[in-house]
């Protein structure tokens, strides 16, 4: 299969198991190619940032939930990172272990969830 | 280092550039992820400021630290799993990126010592910067991901999304698939992407419009996350973004047809998508026909037709019942209100449109909908005149209410003005866009909530009888009506006011008439011929055009010499088929090459192939008119265009981008001039590739390295400018000013306001100028045009002749009473249409006197009334009937000379004093002697012209092998033509024959008893294969000249017609009939000119034997009196017979 991407050969198709966002990725790991000095704190699905003209700029698509091991995108409606990646479902299950800031944040977000777009 | 000299570490200032530079050395080095000086670097520091402000604010409110730690004390509910999260909240824990920068590297390598000893950033500052950088990286990631997520979300919301797998499966399993979906279903953007992502890799998608190719390529490359790659590209006539990496290409239908012409199997593509097939454009209908037969050659080819849900079965059935996938559209509900125009407001034929029904709608909207509820109005009218009538009325209303900005939209507006309909109205104000049907499909304007549909459209139709285009007003079809309505529901629920009754709607035709049924098919038939598609009459079109249309085209192409009598392509036809222009214009190009008038002819051909650069709206602006004056040529509009182009090139060479202002002053649309430059170059390349023009032998870049480098770096700069522009394009929409509607449109497009506004919008970068510089060398162009800058009168005469021969038979005769009429009432007659008028844009509309006969012409004694040697005709490019039949783009030519040189039928009486040209123009010359002289020079010039033209064409079709016409011969011919055109001083009368006269024009065939058998006749014109004309009677002397076929003429052989004449070339002196004399002249050349193989034997001696080197002009002649067989030329035969008298 030939997926659309500029950089390198796409490794496969990344699909978020929650929102079904799906797009080809070109790297999986903690050290995106051509990015000296950058280290990711989790194993990520990465592609070249399609919105930047520069080849070295990368875009993290998602990773694996540290609890349920489902593939999840980094969108705020699907997962959050707090020293580790958690899908939102797992976060809710263990909400009490998360700091207050995160708890209030999640409560606040609920009504706006349908329109929720990432931090743009 | 400067930083070392600074002692005071406490003087750290985040805003100081020096301090920032020090941090840059730690975080943004050459090889770091973000480099100092890059756009991201700039963004970082902007982010830094925001981030610090945000932190300060939070620290002041201090809300965060209060409840910190409180949560951890609560007992764990889900006690089974310990997530091992840190006890104290820190936003940094939410970032999944870390960065290795200089400080970290140094820490690891133990070279930390430098840090303490220096001034510059302390640990604290470095830490702050590092933290901010992490947040910045996280922020950019979220931002980009947000874009991606939004994109994917929107794609999934499109109605077509749920059919994705079905479409891919259908295409994989069927050679042809029809995807039918209405506006907004997303087919044009999504289907190509679906196929691309499912593994197809050479996809072409055709569009009826160039602009759609560009915008779709841009959108799809963005959506397929390839906006900076070239996987998705477009190709239109002069522009392409295609590279070897391109997998999906948007191109025009015409271009794909050209590609098929080059490669009949179209091997370069795996999938072809033909979009908007329901629009039924000529090219599209033809393309479908071609593709249908191509499918048998290419069973692996996949064809996808995309259409609105109009007449889908037609397309499916045409491709042996291809599967149809129907996708619902995405339109908001639209309320339809029928408001038929009351009878008292219906305009009679001659009157202007009554604006009251339209004003009522505006008022109604104002009353019913509060101004805060946004939504613009789109009004469909049939034509430009209607638009300006309604615009005027609406503008008055708008000025009064301050609630509307009235904007016209049609294709003759400048592009800047057209562009304005996309701008945004200020709050509380609505746009009222008054448009032709251009807004029905070609132009899509978002934000329209109200549509007013007049139900009318002006459509071009072709009248094959009069060879005339006709722009007529019709009721629209139901399909168009629905399309117009749909324009109100693209962004929200809308209202459509139909200014006709529901019963009218029911009576409309279901679909518009396909273009192939309405237009002249000349170019189409020519293209079919060159693609080897066999007899156009039996081609399996999806909806075959009327047989008469094809026949007319075939006849026309034969008349033009593009097809021979067997309907096969001639060499000139083959060439014309390659040129993407009208046959007439192609002909001019070829003719221009022969005479070394290439440069001006290239310009002319380009100028006549694009829309006029002269803006109609500026016509009544006195400043523009004055500024344009020096460009005008009273020889004709093509020469005005030539002057304009040449002067523009001059301005460009001197002032570069300043040409934009120059154009605006003169009411010129510069875009058209850019198109002309491009077209001109394309023509030149085509002529070169066909060997009609020598490839540039000159100067293979004698530039030194320095110059080359300069040129290279300039090009790089230009490319960068272009890329920046492309990226920004469409992102800046201006807010309109309330007064914006009125001022222009009603005239002054050259106003300063407009100018500064435009400049502002373009931020000083004139992208057209950039593209121009990338594509052309101004100096080269300047050189090329300077040769045509000041045409000598001789060159001008030749140019006119070329134009005339190219345009033939598009000729018009001034009415004989024009001199006594007002300027506005000058009328002209063409062969098939009487009483045509010169289009007001033509130079002859404002200056008709140059077409009148000089009033006080000193008449020769005995000259009859109406005789003159100054009669002129107009050759014209288009004849278009709107409310009146108009000719436009005219050039004046001397009548007698031009006719004798280009007419395809010249009929004479016995002494050649009465000539009928093409069966409708009669020339009477009172002097038989002069008449003969004229006719015979014309004959010789034409024969020579034809010979050289053929030689040139043969040479071009056979590569460089054949001997082209010699320069000497060409010079002699042009010399002769010029002399004939300029110095033929013969007085004649010129008139159009009446219908009755035309009916009884010819004597007709002279019975079977025998002219054919008469040996005299057979032998009269041996070189010319004379024969009695089967229909007209008389003798056919050449393909165009028929002698003595006019009724009421004197008898062919009456001896009284013989007059003594001495040949200037040989010593012949004897009484000859006009025919005999013409013939002698045709064969007798001055001594120096005789070609060796044409050496004439001395035939005078009655008994001379035929020489072995007898010329091809000699014939076997049996003299009954001598009873001998002689090989003689016709003149010799005549001389021989004389001996026996």
Say which range, B174-183, B290-299, B1086-1095, has the weakest mean pLDDT: B1086-1095
Of the candidates B227, B81, B87, the residue with the CA atom closest to the CA atom of residue B151: B227
> Would you state the structure tokens that stand for residue B730, as one six-digit string?
């469409």
Using a CB–CB cutoff of 8 Å, tell me whether A67 touches chain B.
Answer: yes
Residue B491 has pLDDT above 80, yes or no: yes
**Is B94 within 8 Å of A117 when comparing Cβ atoms?**
no
**CB B1078, CB B910: distance < 8 Å:** no
Task: Give B59's contacts (C-beta < 8 A, 6+ positions apart).
Answer: none
pLDDT digits (tens, 9 = 90+) for A56-99: 899 999 999 999 999 999 999 999 999 999 999 999 999 989 99
Q: Distance (Å) from the C-alpha of residue B292 to the closest C-alpha of chain A? A: 29
Residue B406 has pLDDT above 90, yes or no: yes
pLDDT at B1115: 63
Average pLDDT over residues B1001-1005: 80
User: What number of residues does chain A have?
Assistant: 120
**Cα B1045–Cα B1048–Cα B1049 angle in degrees, nearest 5:** 55
pLDDT at B760: 46
Percent of chain B with pLDDT over 70: 84
pLDDT at A109: 75
Residue B762 has pLDDT above 60, yes or no: no
Looking at this predicted complex, what is its ipTM? 0.90
What would the 3-class secondary structure string for B875-890 be?
EEEEEEECCCEEEEEE
Crossing angle of helices B778-786 and B637-655, in 10° steps, is 140
Task: Give B1089's contacts (C-beta < 8 A, 6+ positions apart).
Answer: none
Residue B1 has pLDDT above 80, yes or no: no
Using a CB–CB cutoff of 8 Å, tell me whether A41 touches chain B.
Answer: yes
pLDDT at B220: 94
Average pLDDT over residues B703-714: 77
Average pLDDT over residues B1056-1074: 74
Q: Which residues of B touch A39 (CB under 8 A)?
A: 97-100
pLDDT digits (tens, 9 = 90+) for B771-795: 888 878 888 888 777 766 677 888 8
pLDDT at B696: 57
Q: Which residues of B touch A54 (CB under 8 A)?
A: 38
Using a CB–CB cutoff of 8 Å, tell me whether B108 touches chain A.
Answer: no
Q: Which residues of A touch B98 (CB under 8 A)?
A: 38-41
For residue B479, name the pLDDT band (cuts at 50, 70, 90): very high
The CATH number corresponding to B160-327 among 3.10.129.10, 2.60.40.10, 3.30.160.150, 3.40.50.300 equals: 3.40.50.300
Across chain B, what does the average pLDDT equal? 82
Q: Which residues of B touch A20 (CB under 8 A)?
A: 156
Beta strands in B27-146 (DSSP E): 97-99
For residue B743, name the pLDDT band (cuts at 50, 70, 90): very low
pLDDT at B375: 93
Residue of A49, A58, A65, A72 to mutate, testing the B interface (most B Cβ within 10 Å of its Cβ): A49
For residue B617, name the pLDDT band (cuts at 50, 70, 90): confident
User: How far apart are alpha carbons B145 and B136 in whole angstroms?
Assistant: 14
pLDDT digits (tens, 9 = 90+) for B641-650: 999 999 999 9
pLDDT at A3: 37
pLDDT digits (tens, 9 = 90+) for B814-825: 998 888 888 888
pLDDT digits (tens, 9 = 90+) for B958-1001: 555 455 677 888 889 999 999 999 888 888 999 998 888 888 78
Q: Which residues of B touch A1 (CB under 8 A)?
A: 198-199
Of the candidates B617, B620, B601, the residue with the CA atom closest to the CA atom of residue B609: B601
CA dihedral angle for residue B1049, residue B1055, residue B1057, residue B1062, rounded to 10 degrees: 150
Using a CB–CB cutoff of 8 Å, tell me whether B89 touches chain A.
Answer: yes
What would the 3-class secondary structure string for chain A be?
CCCCCCCCCCCEEEECCCCCCEEEECEEECCCCCCCCEEECCCEEEEECCCCCCCCCEEEEEEECCCCCCEEECCCCCEEECCCEEEHHHHHHCHHHCCHHHHHHHHHHHHHHHCCCCCC
User: How far apart are alpha carbons B1017 and B1025 in whole angstroms?
Assistant: 10
Average pLDDT over residues B1062-1089: 72
**Is A36 within 8 Å of B81 when comparing Cβ atoms?**
no
Location of structure tokens 């507006």: B413
Closest chain B residue to the Cα of A1, Cα to Cα = B199
Using a CB–CB cutoff of 8 Å, tell me whether A115 touches chain B.
Answer: no
pLDDT digits (tens, 9 = 90+) for B875-915: 998 888 888 899 999 999 999 999 999 998 899 888 788 89
Residue B1006 has pLDDT above 70, yes or no: no
User: How far apart are alpha carbons B131 and B125 in whole angstroms?
Assistant: 10
Q: Report the residue from B97, B142, B144 with minimal CB separation from A49.
A: B144
Q: Which residues 215-234 on chain B approach chain A with CB closer than 8 angstroms? A: 224-229, 231
Using a CB–CB cutoff of 8 Å, tell me whether B243 touches chain A.
Answer: no
**Is A6 within 8 Å of B70 when comparing Cβ atoms?**
no
The CATH number corresponding to B334-513 among 3.20.190.10, 3.40.50.11270, 3.40.50.300, 1.10.10.10 equals: 3.40.50.300
User: How far apart are alpha carbons B567 and B1122 in whole angstroms?
Assistant: 47
Of the candidates B645, B656, B776, the residue with the CA atom closest to the CA atom of residue B715: B776
> Would you state the structure tokens that stand for residue B774, as one six-digit string?
């990338």
Say which range, A33-42, B613-622, B995-1004, B1107-1116, has the weakest mean pLDDT: B1107-1116
Using a CB–CB cutoff of 8 Å, tell me whether A42 touches chain B.
Answer: yes
pLDDT digits (tens, 9 = 90+) for B233-285: 999 887 889 999 999 999 999 999 999 988 989 999 999 999 999 999 999 99
Q: Report the residue from A56, A93, A99 with minimal CB separation from B89.
A: A99
Q: Distance (Å) from the C-alpha of residue A109 to the closest C-alpha of chain B? A: 16
Q: Distance (Å) from the C-alpha of residue A77 to the closest C-alpha of chain B? A: 11
Residue of A53, A66, A82 to mutate, testing the B interface (most B Cβ within 10 Å of its Cβ): A82
Q: Distance (Å) from the C-alpha of residue A89 to the closest C-alpha of chain B? A: 14
pLDDT at B1019: 39
Query: Could you check whether B160-327 and B334-513 share the same CATH topology?
Result: yes
Q: Which residues 156-195 on chain B approach chain A with CB closer than 8 angstroms? A: 156, 193
**Is B97 within 8 Å of A67 when comparing Cβ atoms?**
no
**Cα B255–Cα B259–Cα B263 angle in degrees, nearest 5:** 170
User: How far apart are alpha carbons B1089 and B1066 in whole angstroms?
Assistant: 12
User: How far apart are alpha carbons B1141 and B1136 in whole angstroms?
Assistant: 9
Q: Distance (Å) from the C-alpha of residue A111 to the closest C-alpha of chain B? A: 19
B488 vs B416, which has greater pLDDT?
A: B488
H-helix segments, B766-815: 767-775, 778-786, 793-807
Q: Distance (Å) from the C-alpha of residue A67 to the closest C-alpha of chain B? A: 9
Residue A42 has pLDDT above 90, yes or no: yes
Q: Which residues of A touch B97 (CB under 8 A)?
A: 38-41
**Is B97 within 8 Å of A117 when comparing Cβ atoms?**
no
Pairs of residues, one from chain A and one from chain B, whose beta carbons lie less than 8 Å apart: 160
Residue of A92, A94, A115 to mutate, testing the B interface (most B Cβ within 10 Å of its Cβ): A94
Q: Report the residue from B67, B98, B196 with minimal CB separation from A39.
A: B98
For residue B6, name the pLDDT band (cuts at 50, 70, 90): very low
Of the candidates B541, B551, B550, B547, the residue with the CA atom closest to the CA atom of residue B290: B541
Q: Distance (Å) from the C-alpha of residue B69 to the closest C-alpha of chain A? A: 8
H-helix segments, B958-1060: 967-983, 995-999, 1015-1020
Residue B1050 has pLDDT above 70, yes or no: no
pLDDT at B504: 95
Q: Distance (Å) from the C-alpha of residue A6 to the closest C-alpha of chain B? A: 6
User: How far apart are alpha carbons B930 and B498 in whole angstroms?
Assistant: 68
**Is A5 within 8 Å of B226 when comparing Cβ atoms?**
yes
pLDDT at B850: 86
User: How far apart are alpha carbons B878 and B807 in whole angstroms?
Assistant: 9
> Where along chain B do its domains lie?
2-57+91-144, 160-327, 334-513, 521-569, 571-695+712-743+760-790, 792-855+862-894, 903-927+989-1051, 929-985, 1053-1140
Using a CB–CB cutoff of 8 Å, tell me whether A46 touches chain B.
Answer: no
pLDDT digits (tens, 9 = 90+) for B75-129: 555 556 788 888 788 888 999 999 888 777 777 776 555 544 456 677 888 888 9
**Is B228 within 8 Å of A103 when comparing Cβ atoms?**
no
Task: Give B943's contacts (C-beta < 8 A, 6+ positions apart).
Answer: B1038, B1082
Q: Which residues 81-110 on chain A approach chain B with CB closer than 8 angstroms? A: 81-86, 93-94, 96-103
pLDDT digits (tens, 9 = 90+) for B303-329: 999 998 888 999 999 999 999 999 988
Residue of B39, B148, B190 to mutate, testing the A interface (most A Cβ within 10 Å of its Cβ): B148
pLDDT at B1025: 60
Location of structure tokens 């005549």: B1134
Average pLDDT over residues B453-463: 89
Residue of A83, A85, A102, A116 to mutate, testing the B interface (most B Cβ within 10 Å of its Cβ): A83
Q: Mean pLDDT: which of B84-88, B193-197, B609-613, B931-935 is highest?
A: B193-197
B34 vs B1050, which has greater pLDDT?
A: B34
For residue B742, name the pLDDT band (cuts at 50, 70, 90): low
Q: Report the residue from B101, B147, B196 with minimal CB separation from A120.
A: B147
Q: Distance (Å) from the C-alpha of residue A27 to the closest C-alpha of chain B? A: 15
Q: Distance (Å) from the C-alpha of residue A50 to the closest C-alpha of chain B? A: 5
pLDDT at B586: 85
**Is A6 within 8 Å of B231 when comparing Cβ atoms?**
yes
For residue A118, name the pLDDT band (cuts at 50, 70, 90): very low
Q: Report the residue from B93, B149, B152 with minimal CB separation from A83.
A: B93
Q: Distance (Å) from the C-alpha of residue B25 to the closest C-alpha of chain A? A: 14
**Is B146 within 8 Å of A22 when comparing Cβ atoms?**
no
pLDDT at B1056: 55
Percent of chain B with pLDDT over 90: 38
Residue B478 has pLDDT above 80, yes or no: yes
Average pLDDT over residues B556-568: 88
Residue A116 has pLDDT above 90, yes or no: no
């Amino acid at each position: 299969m030939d997926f659309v991407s500029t950089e390198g050969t796409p490794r496969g198709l990344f699909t978020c198991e929650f929102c079904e966002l799906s797009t080809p990725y070109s790297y999986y790991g903690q050290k995106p190619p051509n990015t000296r000095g950058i280290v990711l704190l989790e194993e990520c699905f990465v592609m070249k940032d399609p919105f930047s003209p520069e080849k070295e700029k990368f875009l993290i698509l998602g990773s694996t939930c540290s609890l349920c091991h489902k593939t999840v995108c980094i969108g705020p409606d699907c997962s959050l990172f707090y020293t580790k990646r958690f899908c939102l479902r797992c976060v809710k299950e263990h909400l009490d272990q998360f700091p207050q800031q995160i708890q209030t944040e999640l409560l606040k977000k609920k009504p706006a969830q349908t329109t929720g777009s990432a931090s743009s | 280092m400067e930083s070392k000299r600074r002692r005071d570490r406490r003087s750290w200032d985040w805003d100081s550039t020096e301090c920032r530079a020090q941090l840059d050395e730690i975080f943004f080095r050459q090889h770091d992820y973000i480099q100092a000086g890059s756009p991201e670097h700039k963004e970082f520091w902007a982010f830094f400021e925001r981030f610090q402000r945000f932190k300060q604010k939070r620290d002041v409110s201090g809300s965060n630290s209060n409840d910190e730690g409180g949560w951890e004390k609560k007992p764990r509910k889900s006690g089974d799993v310990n997530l091992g999260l840190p006890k104290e909240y820190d936003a940094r824990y939410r970032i999944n990126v870390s960065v290795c920068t200089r400080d970290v590297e140094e820490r690891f390598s133990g070279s930390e010592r430098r840090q303490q000893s220096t001034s510059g950033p302390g640990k604290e500052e470095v830490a702050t910067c590092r933290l901010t950088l992490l947040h910045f990286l996280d922020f950019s990631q979220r931002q980009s991901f947000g874009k991606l997520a939004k994109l994917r979300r929107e794609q999934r919301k499109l109605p077509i999304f749920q059919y994705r797998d079905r479409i891919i499966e259908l295409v994989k399993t069927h050679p042809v698939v029809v995807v039918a979906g209405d506006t907004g279903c997303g087919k044009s953007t999504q289907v190509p992407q679906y196929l691309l992502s499912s593994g197809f890799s050479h996809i072409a998608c055709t569009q009826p419009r160039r602009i759609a190719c560009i915008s779709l390529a841009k959108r799809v490359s963005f959506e397929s996350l390839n906006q900076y790659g070239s996987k998705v590209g477009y190709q239109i006539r002069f522009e392409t973004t295609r590279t070897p990496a391109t997998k999906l290409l948007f191109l025009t239908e015409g271009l794909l047809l050209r590609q098929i012409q080059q490669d009949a199997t179209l091997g370069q593509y795996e999938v072809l998508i033909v979009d908007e097939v329901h629009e039924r454009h000529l090219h599209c209908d033809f393309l479908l026909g071609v593709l249908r037969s191509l499918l048998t050659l290419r069973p692996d080819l996949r064809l996808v037709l995309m259409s609105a849900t109009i007449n889908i079965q037609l397309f499916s059935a045409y491709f042996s019942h291809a599967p149809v996938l129907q996708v619902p559209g995405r339109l908001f509900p639209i309320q339809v209100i029928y408001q038929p125009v009351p009878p008292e407001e219906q305009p009679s034929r001659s009157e202007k449109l009554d604006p009251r029904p339209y004003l009522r709608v505006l008022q109604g909207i104002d009353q019913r909908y509060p101004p805060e509820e946004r939504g613009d109005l789109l009004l469909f009218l049939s034509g430009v005149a209607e638009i300006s009538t309604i615009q005027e009325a609406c503008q008055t209303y708008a000025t009064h209410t301050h609630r509307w900005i009235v904007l016209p939209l049609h294709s003759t507006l400048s592009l800047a003005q057209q562009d304005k309909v996309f701008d945004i109205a200020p709050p509380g104000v609505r746009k009222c866009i008054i448009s032709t049907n251009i807004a029905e499909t070609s132009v899509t304007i978002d934000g329209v909530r109200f549509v007013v549909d007049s139900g009318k459209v002006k459509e071009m139709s072709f009248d094959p009888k009069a060879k005339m285009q006709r722009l007529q007003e019709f009721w629209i079809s139901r399909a168009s009506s629905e399309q117009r309505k749909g324009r109100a529901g693209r962004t929200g629920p809308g209202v459509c006011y139909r200014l006709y009754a529901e019963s009218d709607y029911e009576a409309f035709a279901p679909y518009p008439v396909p273009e192939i049924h309405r237009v002249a098919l000349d170019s189409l038939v020519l293209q079919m011929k060159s693609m080897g598609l066999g007899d156009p009459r039996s081609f399996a079109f999806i909806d075959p055009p009327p047989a008469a249309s094809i026949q007319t085209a075939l006849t026309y192409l034969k008349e033009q010499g593009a097809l021979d009598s067997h309907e096969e392509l001639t060499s000139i036809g083959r060439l014309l088929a390659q040129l993407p222009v009208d046959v007439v214009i192609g002909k001019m190009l070829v003719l221009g090459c022969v005479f070394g008038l290439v440069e001006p002819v290239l310009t002319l051909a380009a100028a006549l192939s694009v829309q006029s650069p002269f803006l109609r709206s500026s016509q009544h602006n006195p400043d523009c008119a004055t500024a344009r004056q020096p460009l005008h040529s009273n020889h004709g509009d093509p020469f005005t265009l030539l002057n304009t182009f040449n002067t523009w090139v001059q301005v460009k060479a001197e002032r570069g981008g300043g040409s934009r202002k120059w154009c605006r002053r003169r009411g010129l649309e510069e875009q058209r001039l850019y198109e002309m430059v491009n077209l001109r170059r394309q023509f030149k390349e085509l002529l070169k590739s066909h060997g009609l023009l020598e490839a540039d032998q000159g100067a293979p870049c004698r530039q030194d390295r320095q110059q080359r480098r300069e040129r290279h770096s300039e090009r790089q700069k230009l490319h960068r400018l272009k890329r920046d522009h492309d990226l920004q394009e469409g992102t800046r929409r201006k807010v309109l000013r309330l007064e914006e509607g009125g001022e222009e449109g009603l005239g002054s497009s050259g106003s300063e306001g407009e100018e500064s506004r435009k400049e502002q919008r373009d931020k000083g970068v004139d992208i057209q100028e950039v593209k121009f510089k990338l594509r052309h060398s101004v100096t080269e162009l300047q050189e090329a045009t300077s040769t045509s800058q000041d045409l000598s009168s001789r060159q001008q005469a030749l140019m006119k002749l070329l134009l005339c021969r190219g345009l033939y038979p598009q000729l018009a005769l001034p009415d004989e009473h024009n001199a006594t009429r007002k300027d506005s009432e000058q009328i002209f007659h063409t062969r098939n249409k009487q009483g045509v008028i010169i289009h007001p844009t033509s130079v002859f509309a404002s200056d008709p006197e140059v077409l009148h006969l000089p009033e006080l012409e000193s008449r020769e004694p005995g000259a009859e009334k109406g005789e003159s040697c100054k009669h002129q005709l107009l050759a014209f490019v288009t004849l278009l009937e709107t409310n009146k039949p108009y000719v436009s783009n005219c050039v004046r030519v001397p009548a007698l000379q031009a006719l004798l040189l280009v007419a395809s039928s010249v009929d004479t009486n016995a002494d050649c004093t009465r000539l009928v040209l093409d069966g409708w123009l009669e020339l009477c010359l009172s002097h038989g002697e002069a008449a003969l002289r004229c006719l015979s020079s014309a004959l010789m010039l034409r024969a020579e012209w034809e010979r050289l033209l053929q030689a040139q064409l043969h040479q071009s079709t056979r590569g460089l092998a054949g001997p082209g016409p010699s320069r000497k011969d060409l010079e002699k011919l042009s010399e002769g033509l010029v002399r004939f055109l300029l110095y033929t001083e013969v007085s004649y009368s010129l008139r159009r024959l009446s219908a009755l006269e035309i009916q009884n024009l010819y004597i007709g065939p002279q019975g079977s008893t025998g002219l054919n058998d008469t040996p005299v006749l057979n032998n009269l014109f041996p070189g010319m294969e004379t024969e009695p004309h089967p229909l007209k009677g008389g003798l056919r002397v050449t393909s165009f000249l028929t002698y003595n076929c006019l009724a009421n003429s004197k008898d062919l052989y009456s001896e009284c017609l013989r007059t003594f004449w001495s040949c200037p070339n040989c010593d012949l002196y004897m009484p000859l009939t006009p025919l005999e004399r013409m013939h002698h002249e045709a064969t007798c050349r001055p001594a120096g000119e005789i070609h060796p193989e044409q050496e004439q034997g001395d035939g005078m001696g009655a008994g001379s034997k035929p020489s072995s080197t007898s010329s091809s002009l000699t014939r076997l002649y049996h003299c009954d009196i001598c009873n001998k067989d002689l090989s003689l030329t016709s003149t010799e035969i005549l001389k021989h017979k004389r001996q026996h008298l």
